[in-house]
């Protein structure tokens, strides 16, 4: 049997069940309908045919308290089934560890580690763990079965998300990631549309904690050194480099890439192969989503830029700041807020009641009609006031952003067109003015520019000091030569030794000083022996 290691959408239901696989030839993900009785499947990208993987467990078989219904996913560690928990009479997602791996202690450790991670998570946006165990040689792990569709499936089906819908989804996942990180020190490390699901009740659920990493307390790192963890199209630069020192900002980067995909229908860095995509994550600037969707607001573009900053230090310093920015953007968007649904496009048609007949129309008195008219006018007045406040508030925020942007561009232009280091002091003052405006994005950019200037100033200062020390050393050499010419070798040697004890010189001069002292000792000895 050929076994395919891929990603699994292990909690989805709706229409035909489809698994997500990674083609062994082109390394691209694709969905395959597991309900079809096919022996061969074909990758839709590269057209390579491959054997359809047979389920580890047949339908109707039992694993402990669970009755197998059908396979719904295939992953790198095993398979996931829709099952019924017999004692509770409820559907569950049952993950089965592959039979070839149960002899490997490292894999078993990772399997139970996943259970421990999920067991700690009590959050409305995260799929809940039920239990883990084994019977015979079958190791299993059960989770709450959630009906719905993952975001990747919805995008593949042509679903278009409004800017507000996309931000609502991403904000819900950010809240789950904040909880996992701040309460339990857990990273997800594989945030992508396929791991985010929308239920029929319009709830957002984070799936697949199978490669999560616990970074606080118990730290079990089973990933081999130099091995990247994550999905290439959404992976952070630090994960692409296979660095071990990563934190919540890696998930933030991937979440920003996912937001880009939700808004544009395409990942930020498409490519023909994984290595090309990883290289683009490392080297290329964040693409402007407005090239694919011009109606996206500038604030959301800036949000994506900060979340996907190449250097993690340039991203939001905590989840709260990131989520607050999302909330501000949603508050400022003029479109009405619509809750995203997995059941189809937003704004499902409402049932309209039958028109009232003449016999059933209520008799409205004139006085009642007058009161109603007054109430309507009052409501319109309130709406106008609220609208005015909204417009003023939005205008003030836009004005602040425009002011900060103008000051920042002016400062950068001054830095680029004036000589160093004479321009440093004024440049710092100009960047301080940018920060005083209080606009988050340009304040952060100003801080980066200030750090660069201070670093340059320090290098120039250090170089200047070394030059002064070198000039002083040359003067000392001249004085030493005068003692040497007069035959006063002891004075010359003491002169260098006293200078060395003072320590007011660059340490790299030690070699030259010691060399001068050795030379003078040899000259002294030669003079005493009558040798010139």
pLDDT tens digits, residue range 168-203? 999 999 999 999 999 888 888 889 998 899 988 889
Q: Choose the weakest-confidence range: 39-53, 270-284, 389-403.
A: 389-403
471, 515: one domain:
yes
Active site residue 190: yes
Strand-pair partners of 501? none
Chain mean pLDDT for the chain: 77
In a domain, 350, yes or no: no
CA separation for the pair 430, 446 (Å, rounded): 9
CATH of the domain at 164: 1.10.510.10
509, 483: one domain:
yes
CA separation for the pair 141, 303 (Å, rounded): 37
* φ and ψ of 205, to 5 deg: -125, 135
186, 325: one domain:
yes
* pLDDT the model gives residue 411: 83
* pLDDT the model gives residue 477: 82
CA separation for the pair 421, 400 (Å, rounded): 30
Give me the sign of the Cα torsion angle 352, 353, 359, 362. Answer: negative
50, 137: one domain:
yes
Whose CA is closest to 77, among 44, 47, 109? 109
Strand, coil or helix: what is 227?
coil
Annotated active-site residue in 65, 150, 175, 190: 190
pLDDT category at 316 given cuts 50, 70, 90 is very high
Last residue of a domain, one of 84, 117, 144: 144
Domain that holds residue 288: 149-218+226-332
> How many residues would you count in the chain?
532
Task: List pLDDT tens digits, range 256-296.
Answer: 999 999 999 999 998 877 788 888 999 899 999 999 999 99
In a domain, 54, yes or no: yes
405, 449: one domain:
yes
Q: Choose the weakest-confidence range: 160-174, 316-330, 474-488.
A: 474-488
pLDDT category at 370 given cuts 50, 70, 90 is low
431, 509: one domain:
no
186, 125: one domain:
no
* φ and ψ of 130, to 5 deg: -110, -65
Does the pTM surpass 0.75? The reply is: no
pLDDT category at 357 given cuts 50, 70, 90 is very low
In a domain, 503, yes or no: yes
374, 490: one domain:
no
In a domain, 505, yes or no: yes
In a domain, 353, yes or no: no
Work out how many domains the chain is built from and give that number.
4
Runs of H (alpha helix) within 86-228:
105-120, 151-156, 163-184
Average pLDDT over residues 25-42: 62
* pLDDT the model gives residue 336: 52
47, 84: one domain:
yes
Whose CA is closest to 263, among 349, 341, 162, 133? 162
383, 405: one domain:
yes
In a domain, 348, yes or no: no
pLDDT category at 365 given cuts 50, 70, 90 is very low
283, 165: one domain:
yes
In a domain, 302, yes or no: yes
283, 153: one domain:
yes
Last residue of a domain, one of 428, 455, 482: 455
């Amino acid at each position: 049997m050929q076994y395919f290691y891929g990603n699994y959408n292990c909690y989805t239901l709706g229409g035909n069940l489809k698994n997500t696989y990674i083609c062994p030839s082109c390394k691209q993900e694709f969905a395959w309908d597991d309900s079809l009785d096919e022996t061969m499947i074909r990758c839709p990208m590269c057209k390579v045919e491959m054997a359809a993987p047979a389920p580890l467990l047949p339908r109707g078989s039992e694993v402990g308290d669970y009755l197998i219904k059908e396979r719904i996913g295939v992953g790198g560690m095993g398979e996931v089934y829709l099952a019924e928990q017999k004692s509770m009479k409820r559907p569950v997602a049952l993950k089965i560890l592959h039979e070839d791996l149960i002899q490997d202690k490292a894999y078993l450790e990772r399997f139970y580690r996943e259970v421990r991670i999920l067991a700690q998570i009590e959050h409305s946006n995260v799929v809940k763990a039920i239990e883990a165990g084994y019977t015979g040689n079958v190791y299993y792990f059960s989770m709450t079965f959630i009906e719905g569709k993952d975001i990747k499936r919805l995008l593949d089906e042509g679903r278009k998300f409004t800017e507000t819908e996309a931000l609502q989804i991403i904000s819900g996942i950010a809240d789950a990631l904040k909880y996992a990180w701040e309460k339990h020190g857990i990273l997800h490390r594989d945030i992508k549309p396929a791991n985010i699901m929308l239920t029929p009740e319009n709830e957002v659920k984070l799936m697949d904690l199978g490669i999560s990493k616990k970074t606080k307390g118990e730290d079990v790192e089973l990933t081999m050194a130099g091995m990247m963890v994550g999905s290439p199209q959404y992976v952070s630069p630090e994960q692409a480099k296979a660095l071990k020192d990563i934190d919540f900002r890696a998930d933030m980067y991937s979440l920003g890439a996912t937001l880009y995909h939700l808004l544009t229908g395409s990942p930020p860095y498409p490519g023909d192969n994984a290595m090309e995509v990883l290289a683009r994550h490392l080297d290329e600037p964040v693409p402007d989503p407005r090239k694919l969707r011009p109606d996206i607001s500038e604030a959301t573009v800036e949000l994506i830029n900060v979340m996907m900053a190449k250097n993690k230090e340039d991203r939001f310093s905590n989840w709260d700041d990131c989520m607050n920015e999302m909330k501000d953007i949603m508050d400022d968007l003029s479109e009405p807020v619509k809750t995203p649904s997995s059941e189809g496009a937003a704004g499902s048609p409402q049932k309209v009641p039958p028109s009232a007949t003449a016999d059933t129309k209520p008799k409205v008195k004139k006085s009642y009609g007058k009161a109603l008219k007054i109430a309507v006018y009052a409501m319109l007045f309130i709406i106008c006031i609220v609208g005015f406040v909204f417009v003023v508030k939005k205008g003030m925020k836009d004005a602040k952003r425009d002011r900060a942007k103008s000051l920042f561009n002016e400062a950068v232009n001054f830095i680029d067109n004036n000589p160093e280091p004479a321009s440093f002091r004024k440049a710092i003052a100009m960047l301080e003015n940018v920060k005083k405006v209080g606009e988050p994005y340009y304040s952060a950019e100003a801080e980066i520019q200030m750090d660069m200037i201070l670093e340059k100033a320090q290098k120039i200062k250090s170089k200047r000091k070394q030059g002064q020390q070198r000039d002083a050393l040359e003067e000392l050499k001249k004085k030493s030569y005068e003692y040497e010419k007069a035959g006063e070798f002891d004075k010359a040697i003491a002169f260098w030794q006293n200078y060395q004890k003072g320590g007011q010189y660059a340490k790299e001069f030690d070699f030259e000083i010691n060399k001068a002292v050795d030379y003078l000792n040899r000259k002294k000895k030669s003079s005493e022996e009558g040798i010139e």
